[in-house]
Amino acid sequence: MDGLTERGFFALAVFGYGLSAIYSVFLWRKGFQRDDRLNYAVLAFFFIAHTTAMALRGFSLSRCPVNNLFEAMMFIMWTIVASYLVLGLFRRLRFLGAFASPVLLAMGVFALMPGLDTTEGDVSKMASLHAALILLSYGAFGIGSFAALMYLMVERDLKMHRARAILSVLPSIQRLELISTRLLIAGLVLLTAGLSLAPVLMKDRYGVFFQADAKIVWSGIVWAAYAILLVARWWSSQGGRKFAWGAVGSFSFVLLTFWGVNLLSKAHQP
């Protein structure tokens, strides 16, 4: 593996996530009745390659690798897999991998597209911290949305009296809702911390605390969406399916618009 670059290691990790995605189809068809140890092991193994890619890039730049779309995607995926490996220590939560790996594969293939791994100029430590916190929050939102997706599946199975609801080795819907809520709270805290650094960075770079940049407005919308979702969860008991759809929808919005917003943002161009 001496000849592999960080992109090579990352491509290897994406290949592994692809294998996991294929195996996930089998788990799905089998009704999640078997322990998901194999999928967990596959993701854990290729996570090593992913971490190696991150480390190589980080050491070569002497900073956290979060400064272009390739690095951002790599970082979000790394956060998702790391969170999954921790949650997956609990047997019933190991199936989250089956929900995560298809998205990881899609994100990985997108990240490897040419033109995304651009060379950045000097980036301050605070800018790196700002980006890292925000990308960590997207990772938490991602794994939270997978838990919500699992909730929707189990809840539907219970409503429709499908045998899979009982025969599968999946957690209760209350537990899934709890996990999803906690991950979204963690994500919102990280996003708030990351965004709170933005005015300082703006002042340093452009001499103003705020400007109506596409990504800044978009980040505000994402923050507001998650904040409303969590507040509604408590104040008006909008838990259950509505909350789960909100979590899945919000993360889908982030994934689908992240690339376009980065292209539109002048404040986030080198």
Partner 1 sequence: MPIITIGLSHRTCAVDVRERFAFSDADIPAALTELKARGLVSEGVIVSTCNRMEIYAVTNSSERKVLDELRDFIVAQKAYNNAINGEFYLYSEPQSLEHLFKVACGMDSMLLGETEILGQLKKAYDLALQHKHTGARLNKAFQRAFNVAKHVRTATNIQRGSVSVASAAVELAEKIFNTLEDHKVMVIGAGDTSEKTARALLSRGAQSVIVANRSFDRAAALALELGGTAVSFDNWTEEFQDIDIVISSTAAPHYILDRTKLEPIMKARRRRPLLLIDIAVPRDIEPEVNFLESVYLYNIDDLQAIADGYLKQRQEEIAKCEAIIREKAQALLEPSASGMSFQPNLAQPA
Alpha carbons 127 and 17: distance in angstroms, whole number: 30
* Residues 98 and 27 sit within 8 Å (Cβ to Cβ): yes
Task: Give the contact letters, 1-30, x = binds to partner 1 (CB under 8 A), - = no.
Answer: ------------------------------
Q: How far is the CB of 24 from partner 1 (least distance, A)?
A: 21
* Residues 169 and 33 sit within 8 Å (Cβ to Cβ): yes
Q: How far is the CB of 143 from partner 1 (least distance, A)?
A: 19
Q: Residue 69: count other Cβ atoms within 10 Å of its Cβ.
A: 18
* Cα→Cα distances 138→1, 28, 107, 121, Å: 31, 26, 13, 24
User: Which of residues 87 and 135 has its CB atom nearest to partner 1 in the complex?
Assistant: 87
Q: Tell which one of 159, 182, 203, 205 touches partner 1 (CB under 8 A).
A: 159
Q: Residue 141: count other Cβ atoms within 10 Å of its Cβ.
A: 28
Alpha carbons 232 and 254: distance in angstroms, whole number: 20
The number of angstroms, rounded, from the C-alpha of 107 to the middle of its chain's C-alpha atoms is 9
- From 40-48, 159-167, 185-193, 221-229, give the range in contact with partner 1 by CB under 8 A: 159-167
Alpha carbons 61 and 25: distance in angstroms, whole number: 38
According to CB under 8 A, which residues from 161 to 180 bind partner 1? 161, 163, 165-167, 170, 172-175, 178
Q: How far is the CB of 151 from partner 1 (least distance, A)?
A: 11
Task: Give the contact letters, 238-267, x = binds to partner 1 (CB under 8 A), - = no.
Answer: -xxx--------------------------
User: Which of residues 30 and 266 has its CB atom nearest to partner 1 in the complex?
Assistant: 30
User: Which of residues 12 and 173 has its CB atom nearest to partner 1 in the complex?
Assistant: 173
| Tokens describing residue 233 | 């969860």
**Which phi-psi region, left, alpha or beta, contains residue 207 (left: φ > 0; alpha: ψ -120 to 50)?**
left
According to CB under 8 A, which residues from 198 to 237 bind partner 1? 237
Q: How far is the CB of 172 from partner 1 (least distance, A)?
A: 5
Binding residues for partner 1, rule: CB under 8 A, are 154, 158-159, 161, 163, 165-167, 170, 172-175, 178, 237, 239-241
